[in-house]
Copies of this chain bind each other. A is one copy, B any other.
Amino acid sequence: MSDYFRKVERSATFSPDKAAKADLFAGERLFVGLNCFEAGQTQKVHAHSAADKFYYVCSGRARLTVGEETREVGAGEIVWAPAGVPHGVEQALERTVLLVGIAPPPRQSAEGRPAVGVRREPDA
């Protein structure tokens, strides 16, 4: 398989317990992955003090929060969460796949997997 090409529909992964993640690419400066939600699943509001991030809605429908604003978004919408601004998924309204880009990439966990979305600011 090529190191450079991926299909969202083949990479997406879901869990009945909680939102699931799929890592796609990680460079020195940028990480790209998927956040995958079944209807009703959430991602707590959090912030990255030193990383810019965006979500792109590949499929589905969800209520996303950035800063003081919460909006229902669907396929083809982009959500920007610059460094320091709290963001999260209040609730997926149906099965939803979000493409996520984070720069710089999250630090590697002990298992070598980027600790995406789990770094929390004390005041987030």
Interface residues of A (CB under 8 A from B): 2-9, 24-25, 27-30, 32, 50-54, 56, 58, 66-67, 69, 71, 73, 76-83, 85, 99, 101-104
Contact = CB atoms under 8 A, between A and B. Distances in A.
B6 A77 contact: yes
A4 B65 CA distance: 10
B8 A103 contact: no
A27 B82 contact: yes
Contacts of A73: 5
A110 B76 CA distance: 31
A28 B99 contact: no
Contacts of A101: 30, 32, 54, 101, 103
Copies of this chain in the oligomer: 2
Nearest to A78: B6
B30 A52 contact: yes
Contacts of A24: 78, 80
B77 A58 contact: no
Given A30-B52, A30-B101, 11 more contacts: A4-B80, A4-B81, A6-B78, A8-B76, A25-B78, A27-B103, A30-B102, A32-B80, A54-B101, A56-B99, A78-B99
